[in-house]
Chains A and B, each alone.
Chain A
Amino acid sequence: MELRSNVPSGPIEKRWEKHRFDLKLVNPANRRKSTVIVVGTGLAGGAASATLGELGYNVHAFYYQDSPRRAHSIAAQGGINASKNYQNDGDSIYRLFYDTVKGGDFRARESNVYRLAEVSGNIIDQCTAQGVPFAREYSGLLDNRSFGGAQVSRTFYARGQTGQQLLLGAYQALERQVDAGTVHTHGRHEMLDLIVIDGVARGIVTRDLVSGEIRPWLADCVVLASGGYGNVFYLSTNAKGCNVTATWRAHRLGAAFANPCYTQIHPTCIPVAGDYQSKLTLMSESLRNDGRVWVPRDPADATKDPRTIAEGNRDYYLETRYPAFGNLVPRDIASRAAKKVCDEGRGVGPAVDGERRGVYLDFADSIKRLGKSKIEERYGNLFEMYERIAGENPYETPMRIYPASHYTMGGLWVDYNLMTTIPGLFAAGEANFSDHGANRLGASALMQGLADGYFVLPSTLAGYLANFKGPKIADDHAEVRAAVGRVNERLKRLVSAPKPSRTPDSFHKELGRLVWDECGMGRNAEGLRKALARIPELREEFWNGVRVTGSGAELNQTLEKAGRVADFLELGELMCLDALHREESAGGHFREEHQTEDGEAKRDDENFTYVAAWEHTGDLSKPKLNKEPLTFEYVKPAQRSYK
């Protein structure tokens, strides 16, 4: 496999402009003759579908939810970055670029990141024009806040529901195109396979989740905007339906999967309350602006009422270890520190499986300093949410938080055009690996999703389609029939395991726990080898013993789950293989063997400054590693320091 990044040459600030000029265009009259399939209607997929529809392409958008408005982008709370410099605090495209490359721990492609920063301002203009009700100042102009440890205020937000408002903007633009007849939506449809003909992506196979009908859809190119794979951990902040199936099926047919071990664990989530727990809820990171994180010094105090623990017996571990950034250190660092104190037995809250996994986030000092009403104004909705879930009042007793899987930086390998290693197959948003390196900064996921969907894909797809000369394909083409056959065969196996005994969720929970323990916040060779030995066994147990009630010819949520778990059981192994091979620590990937004396991540730039793009070989345990070397012409790698 050859990895050609297709990055344009020349000064970085001119590359995107030059590239857009070099890309061919599709004549307006010809666009409706080109059919584009888009899988997923989150920020990337929704924005791409709407924009491609406006341009006149014939777009088919697929999503597993009942409405395109429900994609998981909707749950993003904090905000979206853009280098507008409306605050005159020294922000610029270059600074956003610089911060993102550094924040990604020097494992992202510079040209892609620069382009992201370059279009960030257009995103805010576009969304505002759509009627997205961003927060405003009394002047009537847009408000900004500082987010995720950034030293400038470049985050635009809509209360605590920024993702919702941006997604509704894209959704409305998409529905406008449905009305115009350019976009055709297919809700409650799940992509279960890709159709590749003569090495080129030409369509997908879907299951209608209501009727169970399996059918192929053919097109001139396919865009996967199907999100990340954080649900491999079972417990995560992702929606319950989020899954890796679309990208994983593409991987099995030749799309390289890049950096699967780069996963982001968000530090401020509500801890697990019991073994019935179905998902974890994120509390906006903005809470760390006024809350102080601590645990008892003495493990014996873990069960005491926190208000009775004397100041001297509390360990404000972030403030002590990172005096410069304190409670505002980046996500990966805050998460690992929480794990460390809980590993020491100093965690708080109810014991689940014999362990207390939680740390306090205490607002008592801020309430004393600013008054309860100020805190209520800033965080009222979050406090209410916490009270609803945890059943405790955070104005009176400290919140309990613990890290949870939140975002995955890895994904399908793409070139500068967002095209995967299968020609005609594109990946956008969280589904690709492109812009965040080994760690994503807060408020950058929304930016990347919309950049890909509104601004990058519409140009690069045109460049592809203008040169595309594939033959017309009919539904009875051998490859189409083969893809449909694969799907049918797999579904049949899922509903007729030889010894059905366990539910899909019970397998998912076991896999999740294993991957969380061995390939979560801290990883080491011994643990990864243990997981690598166990996952193939678990996979075999699954195919032998999964219990799916009903049939494939009806609405069957158990079958949907089983199919998704089957793919997580394959991806989980690749994550561990990637984590084991990367003998360094970088961003969200922390190898315990590779840390500095004071416990910080230690990169090995000499040997690991590359993208690991894994190629499926037919043997899940032996994928082939391809490397795309990364070069840093503008931002020179240095150790990230937040002390």
Chain B
Amino acid sequence: MSKKLNLTLHVWRQKGPTAAGDFVKYPASGIDDHMSFLEMLDVVNEGLIEKGEDPIAFDHDCREGICGSCGVMINGMAHGPRKATTACQLHMRVFHDGDEIWIEPWRAAAFPIIKDLIVDRGSLDRIVQSGGYVSVRTGAARDANNIAIPKDDADLAMDAAQCIGCGACVAACPNASASLFTSAKIGHLALLPQGGPEREDRVRRMVLQHDAELFGSCTQHGECEAACPKQISINFIARMNADFIKTAVTANADLKQREGQ
């Protein structure tokens, strides 16, 4: 049945965006190994509140690995040691009694720290604003079965569309690149006929926005794929790059003009 663990946490505490931060040591004792990682933090926080201390701030919501709210570096790994698992779905049975655990926020220039483990990921929303959609008005759609889409294409599009926008790919990347995130949306829409008309415009605008947000470039370390809780393949980065390079030749004059080239 369940085991009890006694752990030592080193948690990044930072009061605000401009304040200096540091690791603070907390004991976490009597932790049931069936707890999730965030439930372990809950227990520590309840203890802090009872002592009148400021609890550790961290983002979380659905706690079933789909909303993408949570995400912290656990011992230097985005979302912790278990493959294809968000921090909320990580359970304490992967740890051992006596372990020391280092917990930090995502670190990237494009993700400023708000408080403790919470960062501002608004940059990801702005990448989507710059073309991560199909421009179809409500009510303008024709019958859904009017266009047949090969099952393999639809399945591959779904592989990319699963991205939960947590930012682990950025945190894991030595360049703090959001290429996996950006390419997943571009790849999802490029694989479907509905995304066809805006394909060139989309890839150019989204990649330029990605760079404007101060995300780094992809140099193919592959850390993003390894950290991705949805196991999105870096092949989508290759697809994005191919599309982007192609548009350098084919993009129409209007598009380049809008970009000020």
- Are A391 and B50 in contact (CB-based, < 8 A)? no
Give the interface centre of B52, B138, B145, B148 by most chain A CB atoms within 10 Å.
B138
A482 nearest CB across to chain B (Å): 31
* Residues 32 to 65 of chain B near chain A (Cβ within 8 Å): 32, 34-36, 38-39, 42-43, 46, 48-50, 52-55, 57, 59-65
By the criterion CB–CB under 8 Å, are B2 and A54 in contact? no
List of A residues within 8 angstroms of B2 by Cβ: 273-274, 350
Q: Are B1 and A503 in contact (CB under 8 A)?
A: no
Q: Does A388 lie at the interface of the complex (its beta carbon under 8 Å from any beta carbon of B)? A: yes
Tell me whether A276 and B39 are in contact (CB under 8 A): yes
A371 interfacial by beta-carbon distance below 8 Å: no
Q: Are A125 and B161 in contact (CB under 8 A)?
A: no
- Counting CB contacts under 8 A, is A146 at the interface? no
The chain B residue sitting closest to A350, CB to CB, is B1
> Contact between B57 and A74 (Cβ–Cβ < 8 Å)?
no
Complex partner residue of B145 from A68, A74, A75, A141, CB under 8 angstroms: A141
Output the nearest chain B residue to A168 by Cβ-Cβ distance. Answer: B161
Smallest beta-carbon distance B202→chain A, Å: 11
Set of chain A residues within 8 Å of B91, measured between Cβ atoms? 388-389, 391
Contacts of A385 in B (CB 8 A): 64-65, 89
Question: Min CB distance, A297 to chain B, in Å?
Answer: 24
In the assembled complex, the CB of A168 is this many whole angstroms from the nearest CB of chain B, namely: 7
Which of B42, B53, B85 is within 8 Å of A278, CB to CB? B42
How many residues does chain A have at the interface if contact means C-beta atoms less than 8 Å apart? 80
Contact of B63 among A50, A142, A278 (CB under 8 A): A278
Closest to B61 in A: A239
Known contacts A65-B69, A131-B192, A135-B154; A240 and B140 CB within 8 A of each other: no
A141 neighbours in B (Cβ, 8 Å): 145, 148
Say whether A179 faces chain B, with CB atoms less than 8 Å apart.
Answer: yes
In the complex, what distance in Å separates the CA atom of A277 from the CA atom of B32?
Answer: 11
Q: What is the CA–CA distance of A412 and B47 in the complex, to the nearest angstrom?
A: 37
Within 8 Å of chain A (Cβ to Cβ): is B258?
no
Q: Does A607 belong to the interface (CB within 8 Å)?
A: no
Q: Which among A109-117, A362-370, A549-557, A613-621 touches the partner chain? A: A549-557
Q: Is B165 an interface residue (CB 8 A)?
A: yes
A54 to B52, CA, bound (A): 49
Query: Which residues in A have their C-beta under 8 angstroms from that of B93?
Result: 391
Whether the Cβ atoms of A547 and B50 lie closer than 8 Å is yes
A129 to B137, CA, bound (A): 9
List residues of chain B with CB within 8 A of the CB of A179.
Answer: 129-130
Are B138 and A74 within 8 A (Cβ)?
no
- How far apart are A601's CB and chain B's nearest CB, in angstroms? 30
Residue of B50, B130, B140 near A503 (CB, 8 A) is B50
**Which one, A84, A86, A127, A133, contacts B161 given CB within 8 A?**
A133
Whether B105 sits at the interface, judged by CB under 8 Å, is no
Q: Are B64 and A140 in contact (CB under 8 A)?
A: no
Indicate if the CB atoms of B63 and A129 lie closer than 8 Å: no
Task: Given A128-B141, A276-B32, verify A175-B132 contact (CB < 8 Å).
Answer: yes
Q: In this assembly, does B67 line the interface, its C-beta being within 8 Å of a C-beta of chain A?
A: yes
Q: Say which residue of B62, B118, B143 sits within 8 Å of A555 (CB atoms).
A: B118
Nearest A residue to B58, CB-CB: A557
In the bound assembly, the distance between CA atoms of A74 and B121 in angstroms comes to 18
With CB as the reference atom, state the residue of chain B lying closest to A242: B61
B36: A residues at CB distance < 8 A: 278, 389
Binds B, one of A11-19, A157-165, A571-579: A157-165
Query: Closest B-chain residue to A391, C-beta based?
Result: B93
Nearest-CB residue, chain A, relative to B38: A278
Q: B21 → chain A, closest Cβ, in Å?
A: 14
Number of A-B residue pairs at CB separation under 8 A: 219
**Are A126 and B141 touching (Cβ within 8 A)?**
yes
Is the pair A176, B138 in contact by a Cβ cutoff of 8 Å?
no
Cα distance, A54 to B120, chains bound together (Å): 27
A67: Cβ under 8 A from any B Cβ: yes
Cα of A273 to Cα of B249 in the assembled complex, Å = 59
**Which residues of chain A have C-beta atoms less than 8 A from B43's C-beta?**
276
B195 touches A129 (CB 8 A): no
Known: A278-B39, A549-B52. A137 touches B151 (CB 8 A): yes
Let me know if B144 and A84 touch, CB within 8 A: yes
- Residue of A67, A134, A549 near B53 (CB, 8 A) is A549
Determine whether A130 belongs to the interface, using a CB cutoff of 8 Å to chain B: yes
Query: Chain A residues with Cβ under 8 A from B16's Cβ?
Result: 554
Which residues from chain B contact A66 at a C-beta distance below 8 Å?
A: 59, 69, 120-122
> Is the Cβ of A389 less than 8 Å from the Cβ of B161?
no
The verdict on A434 contacting chain B, using a C-beta distance below 8 Å, is no
Complex CA gap A66/B85 in Å reads 21
Nearest CB of A to B227, in Å: 17
- Say whether B245 faces chain A, with CB atoms less than 8 Å apart: no
- CB-CB under 8 A from B69, the residues of chain A are 65-66, 70
User: Across the interface, do B128 and A172 meet the contact criterion of CB distance under 8 Å?
Assistant: yes
A241 at the interface (CB under 8 A from B): yes
Q: Are B61 and A240 in contact (CB under 8 A)?
A: yes
Which of B114, B130, B136, B161 sits near A129, CB closer than 8 Å? B136
With A66-B59, A129-B142, A274-B34: A172-B39 Cβ-Cβ less than 8 Å? no
Of the residues B48, B62, B124, B147, contact of A72 by C-beta under 8 Å: B62
What residues of chain A lie closer than 8 Å to B145, measured between beta carbons? 84, 86, 141-142
Interface: A623 (CB within 8 A):
no
Q: Which residue of A lies closest to B164 (CB)?
A: A164
Asked if B165 contacts A131 (CB within 8 A), the reply is no
Q: What 1/0 mask marks residues of chain B from 217 to 234 whose CB sits below 8 Å from any chain A CB?
A: 000000000000000000
Contacting B at CB under 8 A, from A556-591, are 557-558
Residue B162 CB within 8 A of the other chain:
yes
| B251 at the A interface (CB under 8 A) | no
Which of chain A's residues have a CB closer than 8 A to the CB of B57?
555, 557
Taken together as a complex, chains A and B put the C-alpha atoms of A131 and B164 apart, in Å, by 16
CA–CA, A87 and B52, complex, Å: 61
Q: How far is the CA of A172 from the CA of B198 in the complex (A)?
A: 14
Which chain B residue has the least Cβ–Cβ distance from A47? B138
Chain A residues near B157 (CB, 8 Å)?
Answer: 131, 133
Which one of B54, B60, B137, B143 lies within 8 Å of A54 (CB-CB)? B137
A125 touches B142 (CB 8 A): yes
Q: Which one of B35, B89, B151 contacts A274 once the chains associate, using CB atoms below 8 Å?
A: B35
The answer, yes or no, to whether A505 is at the interface (CB within 8 Å) is: yes
Q: Measured between C-beta atoms, what is the minimum distance from A108 to chain B in Å?
A: 25
Report B209 CB to chain A, min CB distance, Å.
Answer: 10
Enumerate 12 A-B pairs (CB-CB under 8 Å) in ascending A order: A126-B139, A126-B141, A129-B134, A130-B134, A137-B151, A158-B161, A173-B133, A210-B115, A240-B63, A391-B93, A455-B139, A549-B52
Q: Other CB < 8 Å A-B pairs besides A66-B122, A136-B154, A173-B133, 7 of them?
A: A129-B140, A131-B192, A133-B188, A138-B151, A176-B135, A276-B42, A506-B46
Chain B interfacial positions (CB closer than 8 Å to A): 1-2, 16, 32, 34-36, 38-39, 42-43, 46, 48-50, 52-55, 57, 59-69, 82, 85, 89, 91, 93, 114-115, 118, 120-122, 124-125, 128-130, 132-145, 147-151, 154-155, 157-158, 161-162, 164-165, 188-189, 192, 194-195
For the complex of A and B, list the 5 residue pairs with the smallest distance between their C-beta atoms, beginning with the closest. A140-B148, A172-B133, A129-B141, A128-B144, A125-B141
